[in-house]
A and B are shown apart, each in its own frame.
Chain A
Amino acid sequence: NAGVMQNPRHLVRRRGQEARLRCSPMKGHSHVYWYRQLPEEGLKFMVYLQKENIIDESGMPKERFSAEFPKEGPSILRIQQVVRGDSAAYFCASSPRIVAGASTDTQYFGPGTRLTVL
């Protein structure tokens, strides 16, 4: 029973390069969430996606960050022209299909990708 998978686990980039983080949700889950954790802080919501749709990107920085969850393949979080302040742990979570009016389904997290920008 594979859980949420993220790769790479560690990613080092120089300033100005692009970072691509991948997330494969648990089997049967169609909702994906991305969170960022800065040192000594809690996780901060970035974006919520369903297959081929961005549902809520209110936590995403307006520039350089984008996310997708294509019909086939993993969800991708892309950071263009990385800066040192992007260094953080990026976590992906997934949950099953949510039925309208029901309580929020539990989100299950992947192991995270630790991004270091030199």
Chain B
Amino acid sequence: DQQVKQNSPSLSVQEGRISILNCDYTNSMFDYFLWYKKYPAEGPTFLISISSIKDKNEDGRFTVFLNKSAKHLSLHIVPSQPGDSAVYFCAASAETGANNLFFGTGTRLTVIP
């Protein structure tokens, strides 16, 4: 039962343009959301997070948007750079749970120079 879904397995974007990665979830108890970036043969690297009390969080070129009514979040990267090419995982957790994270299946972003 996949509670966090990333329906686009891959995305290609031209350098300098905006990358938009999407994520949907089904569990209404989730109240904390994170994006991780992963290079081959490495562990996931934390990028940015958002609590359910917010609808937007920004950190440099990265912005995460949360739409609780739609159970949808997105990661915007602007401007995209070739070094952003990686697999991006969306993750969610419930505060009242044991704090384990539920991951999506990932989206492979390729930024074309």
A residues with CB within 8 A of B: 4, 6, 31, 33, 35, 40-45, 48, 55-56, 58-59, 91, 93, 95, 98, 101, 103-112, 114
* Cβ-closest chain A residue relative to B4: A42
Task: Collect the chain B residues with CB atoms within 8 Å of residue A101's CB.
Answer: 95
* Cβ-closest chain B residue relative to A45: B100
Q: CB distance B104 to A42 under 8 Å?
A: yes
Compute how far the CA of A104 lies from the CA of B101 in the bound complex, rounded to whole angstroms.
10
Compute how far the CA of A91 lies from the CA of B103 in the bound complex, rounded to whole angstroms.
13
Interface string of B43-70 (1 = CB under 8 A from A): 1111001010000000000000000000
Number of interface residues of B (CB under 8 A): 28
Partner of A112, one of B6, B43, B102, B106: B43
* Cβ-closest chain B residue relative to A114: B41
Residue of B46, B95, B99 with highest tally of chain A CB at under 10 A:
B99
In whole Å, how far is A65's beta carbon from the nearest beta carbon of chain B?
A: 15
Q: 7 A–B contact pairs at CB < 8 A? A: A6-B43, A33-B100, A93-B43, A93-B101, A103-B32, A109-B46, A111-B41
Q: CB distance B99 to A95 under 8 Å?
A: yes
Q: CB distance B99 to A98 under 8 Å?
A: yes
Which parts of B83-102 form the interface with A (CB within 8 Å)?
A: 89, 91, 93, 95, 97-102
